[in-house]
Amino acid sequence: DLLLAISEHTRADFIEHLAIPADRVVAVGTGVPARFSPAPDRAAAIRAAVESVPGLRAGFAMYTGGSDARKNVEGLLAAWALVDPALRARHQLAVVFKLHGTHGEHLARVAEELGVADDVVFTGFVDDDVLLAMYRSTDLFVFPSLYEGFGLPVAEALACGAVSIASDTSSLPEVLPDPDARFDPKDPTAIAAAITRGLTESAFRERALRTAQAVDHSWEGVVAATERAYGSLAARLR
C-alpha cells in the first residue's frame, strides 16, 4: 500500500522502473545520527585525526564511501592530479575506506601513475570516532559518486560543518542544495576546479559553511515525514 523512499530521486526511480503508482511512493529522506555535529574544539579534532591516521597532516581534503566503480574514486584521483601542485602540497587528499584485496594496490598504482602518490593518503578502515574527527577537521569534503540513492557521507560531512562539494547527479542535489558546490563527476577538470574553489575561495567556503548549518538531515525530520506518510495512507484506507 505504501513504499517509503530515501530521496525524491529514488522515489522517481521506483515509479519509473518498477511501475509503482506515484501516490504509493513517498520520499521521507534519511537521517544522520546526532553525534555527527561540528567540533566543540576544532584544534582537538585535527589532533585526533592526524594522530590516528599514519601520514596524515592538518589541512587535508577527504573522500569517504565505497570503493566500487560507481563511487568514481579513480575519477577523483585523476582530478586531484589536475589540481595545482602547490595546492596539493598544502592539502593532502585522504581516501577513507576499507581496502579489499588487490584493489588497494590498484588504486595506489593509479595514484603513482598520475604522479600524486605523495599527495594522497589511503587510510584503510577507520573507526567511527576517527571518521568523526576527520569530518570535523577536514578542509574540504569531496564526493564524486556517479549515482546515489541518497548520499549519506555528504549529509554526515555537512552535519559536522565540513565545507563540502559533490556530484551534480542522482539524489545528491537534494543533499547538497547549493549548485555552486556541485560538479560533473564524469569530468575530472570540473572536479579539479571545484576542489580548487573549495580550498581557496573564501567567499565560496563561507557560503558552503552557511549551507552546512542550514540543511537538516536529522532523524527527527525523517520521523515527521514518515508519520505524515502513514497518516495519509490511513486516511486513504478508511
Phi, psi of 209 (to 5 degrees): -65, -35
Percent of the chain clearing pLDDT 70 (strictly above): 100
Percent of the chain clearing pLDDT 90 (strictly above): 88
Q: What are the pLDDT digits (tens) for 207-224?
A: 988 888 888 899 999 999
**Does residue 100 carry a pLDDT above 80?**
no
Confidence at residue 215, expressed as pLDDT on a 0 to 100 scale: 85
What is 37-216's CATH number? Answer: 3.40.50.2000
Confidence at residue 23, expressed as pLDDT on a 0 to 100 scale: 92
Residues 6+ apart with CB under 8 A from 90: 59
DSSP per-residue codes, 66-87: --SGGG-HHHHHHHHHHS-HHH
Q: What are the pLDDT digits (tens) for 56-93?
A: 999 999 999 988 999 999 999 999 999 999 999 999 99
More confident residue, 194 or 105: 194
Q: What are the pLDDT digits (tens) for 124-158?
A: 999 999 999 999 999 999 999 999 999 999 999 99
Compute the average pLDDT of residues 6-32: 95
Long-range interactions of 103-110: CB distance < 8 A, separation 24+ = 103/67, 107/67, 107/73, 107/74, 107/77, 110/74, 110/77
Compute the average pLDDT of residues 217-236: 93
Mean residue pLDDT of the chain comes to 95
- Chain-centre distance for alpha carbon 109: 24
What are the residues facing 26 on neighbouring strands?
A: 4
Residue for cell digits 518498477? 18
**Does residue 227 carry a pLDDT above 90?**
yes
130 touches 93 (CB < 8 A): no
Q: How many residues does the chain have?
A: 238
Q: What's the farthest any 2 CA atoms get from each other in the chain?
A: 66
Residue spans per domain, the chain: 1-31+218-238, 37-216
Q: Residue 105: which pLDDT band, with cuts at 50, 70 and 90?
A: confident
Confidence at residue 14, expressed as pLDDT on a 0 to 100 scale: 94
Q: What are the pLDDT digits (tens) for 173-188?
A: 999 999 999 999 999 9
State pTM to two decimals: 0.94
User: What amino acid is encoded at 173 in this protein?
Assistant: P
